[in-house]
Structure 1
Amino acid sequence: MTYQDDLSAITADDLRGFFVGWPSPPTPAQHLAALRGSHRVVVARAGSGRVAGFVNAIGDGVLTAFVPWLEVLPEHQGQGIGGELVRRILTQLDDVYSVDLVCDAELRPYYERLGLTAVQGMGLRNRTVLG
């Protein structure tokens, strides 16, 4: 597995197969645009060159960042790729004051093992935007 933060060679077709189980997943074109618009991105590529996973961070570039997505293709899960992606994005963000991430309750232990701490938050999901 190789890891990169350069998206110049990534195409929308490289991003097929992600967001399994989402009720209205982004299209590959939306996915690529979101990654390109992010403050920081790390992509994992399998030996075949296929994108196997990614993580991104958005933020002000000074004090705060938010990690909205961590995804690993189902056939590559359980191999430590997600953890390595999180470690790499956090290293890129080690100069900001706060890094926040929202996850479902069952994922809290996973992120706690990676050094994150549970905090309370609020959110709004406009599900009509995707799909």
Structure 2
Amino acid sequence: MNRLSYPQKFTLIGFLLAIPLTLVMYLRISEINSRVDLAQKEIYGNQYLRPLRQLREHIPKLQRLNYQGLNANLSNPESPVNLEAKIDANFQSLANTRQLGKILVAGDKFNKIYQNWQNFKLRRRQWS
């Protein structure tokens, strides 16, 4: 250390102090970026869940209408055709947000739910 001149010593000390500072700044920026990404995914999730929430409201109503013929005490002002149209509209709005499903890794689940809905509609028309 005695062989170095003052400018060399200050440069060395500055460099040794800059290394941890650089590391801390890098970690801080990466943490901020990960929080921003998480917030963006929360926004996408909110947009994706809106039609799903409506599906969750309409499907039990349709199930109740299907069993209304078995129980005369149940009364519902909506028709099954109207509810099916609402459910189809919800699936259409979900299909419009299909890219969000890819970002949120929910595309396979949507396809499975949609296939079940299509199978239900086909089998329901075959019921007597």
TM-score tier by shorter-chain length is under 0.3
Higher share of residues assigned strand: 1
Q: Highest Rg: 1 or 2?
A: 2
Q: Select the structure with the greater relative contact order (CA < 8 A; seq sep ≥ 6).
A: 2
Q: Higher helix proportion, which one? A: 2
Q: Normalized against structure 2, the TM-score is what? A: 0.26
